[in-house]
Amino acid sequence: MTPGPPGFYGVRIRDELYQSLWAREIEVGDEAFDSKFFIEGPIQLIYALLDAEVRHLLIRVNAESRLEIVCGEIRAKLHESQITYILPLLLDLGRRFAQPLSAAQRLAENARQDPVATVRLRNLLLLVREHPGDPGTVETLRAACSDARPEIRLRAAQELGAEGRDVLLEMAESELEDKWNAQAISILGRDLPLDRATTLLNAALSRHRILTACACLEVLGTSGGAPEVDVLAKVLVLEHGELAVAAALALGRTGSTAAEPPLILALEHESAEVLVAAANALAEVGTAAAVLPLKEAAGRIAHHRELHRAARQAIAAIQSRLPEASPGQLSLAAAAAGQLSLAPAEAGQLSLASHPSGQLSLPD
């Protein structure tokens, strides 16, 4: 029996070959270690115990014997010839497990010092979850903002809130991989000044950094200002694929009436994905003027269910915003073909007019 911290009796570490089909496995983030062991028990205790040196010891012992830690015991099946080599390692493991343990302190140390980035990140996130607001947690987050790995800096800055804003701004404007710049921008959101978002967007477009550009478009969509709407409209016209889709959706999020004309124009786009995005955006900012273009766009692609659904939902959303409207009351006006009006009586009162062919009017 190995003396250990509270909860150690419930820790189970055994060779991966002997894993249970029903148990919940814990992985610490070290692929070389996780691939060799099946681990069960209190997650905070396991993360705290399994620092880099302990993991290395376990791998060494398991390579020479069948190692198992269960019910507070360290067990190893080996030949007599292995005892002189393995026994000191087992004793070293026992001493390490028996040391006084502060879970929060160990998690903080692992988050700062472990050589494996994924292990550092998982210990950091567990520390934040289990010990939020503790002075040690805050200090560890601050230290993590200088970590060599961008994913750790991002998460630490995010968890620090306003205090991490400058770190995120620096990362948004640094020479990092496209995905890291994009994530920094997305986390900043409204905290990213719009002029800087526009500058970052132009740089991303010129360098074909799609993820960063899409993140900038999303930020610009939080503003209903005319300059931002103009930028989004320009991207919608000039770009294709994912960028055009992102620009259309961002226009819808602006909530600006100035966003409707470019979105209606986008309903003539050759890409079905852009048409769907434009329809979804018009559900947010469209007026009665968008209804006929929505119907025509859906009609051009007869069997595109997503587009038809998006067009129907957009028309319903537009109708719900019209004063005193009820379902079915959008109709073609009698004054001129192609115009729209609200039927003053019950829904469905449409008939062929005695006016020029093709117009619709209400019955007398």
pLDDT tens track for 11-66: 999 887 766 555 568 999 999 999 999 999 999 999 999 999 999 999 999 888 88
pLDDT-derived band at 139, boundaries 50, 70, 90 = very high
pTM, rounded to two decimals: 0.80
CATH code of 221-325, in short, is 1.25.10.10
Residue 209 has pLDDT above 80, yes or no: yes
Residue 353 has pLDDT above 70, yes or no: no
Which candidate, 121, 127, 202, places its Cα nearest to that of 154?
A: 121
Residue 362 has pLDDT above 50, yes or no: no
pLDDT at 15: 83
pLDDT at 360: 44
Average pLDDT of span 69-91 = 85
What is the per-residue burial (b if ≥16 Cβ within 10 Å, else e) of 61-84?
Answer: bbeebebbbeeeebebebeeeeee
pLDDT-derived band at 332, boundaries 50, 70, 90 = very low
Enumerate the domain spans of the chain: 8-101, 221-325
pLDDT at 173: 95
Taking the mean position of all CA atoms in its chain, how far away is CA 257? 29
Sign of torsion over alpha carbons 283, 286, 292, 296: negative
The backbone torsions φ and ψ at residue 184, rounded to the nearest 5 degrees and listed phi first, read -60, -40
Residue 340 has pLDDT above 80, yes or no: no
DSSP string computed for 73-100: EEEEE--GGGHHHHHHHHHHHHHHHHS-
Average pLDDT of span 139-167 = 97
Q: How many residues does the chain have?
A: 364
Which candidate, 359, 355, 356, places its Cα nearest to that of 337?
A: 359
- Percent of the chain whose predicted confidence (pLDDT) is above 90: 68
Average pLDDT of span 77-88 = 82
Residues 208 and 268: their CA atoms lie apart, in Å, by 25
pLDDT at 161: 95
320-328's contacts with Cβ under 8 Å and 24+ in sequence apart are 321/287, 322/288
pLDDT-derived band at 350, boundaries 50, 70, 90 = very low
